[in-house]
Amino acid sequence: MLITQTTTWEGTPTAIEAVVAGSREAAPIHEGLGATNPRLMRSVSGGDVHQVEYMIDFDSFEAQGKFSDAIVDSEWWTGMMQAVAAAYPDLRNGGTRLTYNAI
């Protein structure tokens, strides 16, 4: 079963560019903790240009749970949370959702 974790970020153009850079740095860390196919999606039409979605995939809910347990205990997480807090209100986290492939 394919599980996709999507985190939405909203912000100023400068803040979004920081998310782009941070996502490039985060991808190998996330892969090392069991995520696959990291990507940062930006709208080219029909969407909000001040919003991006960072997505990672897992083979199961169990794999996603193990990832979640590991990531919150990492030094990367602590640094990322501090950077996000410092960037507010120019950068806002729109939440994280889990979806699965139903077909």
Judging by beta carbons within 10 Å of its beta carbon (0-12, 13-18, 19+), is residue 9 exposed, middle or buried? buried
pLDDT tens string 41-57: 999 888 788 999 999 99
Where do the domains of the chain lie? 3-100
State the average pLDDT for the chain.
96
Cβ atoms of 11 and 50 within 8 Å: the answer is yes
Question: What is the assigned CATH class of domain 3-100?
Answer: alpha beta
Average pLDDT in the 89-102 region? 97
Verdict on whether the full-model pTM lies above 0.85: yes
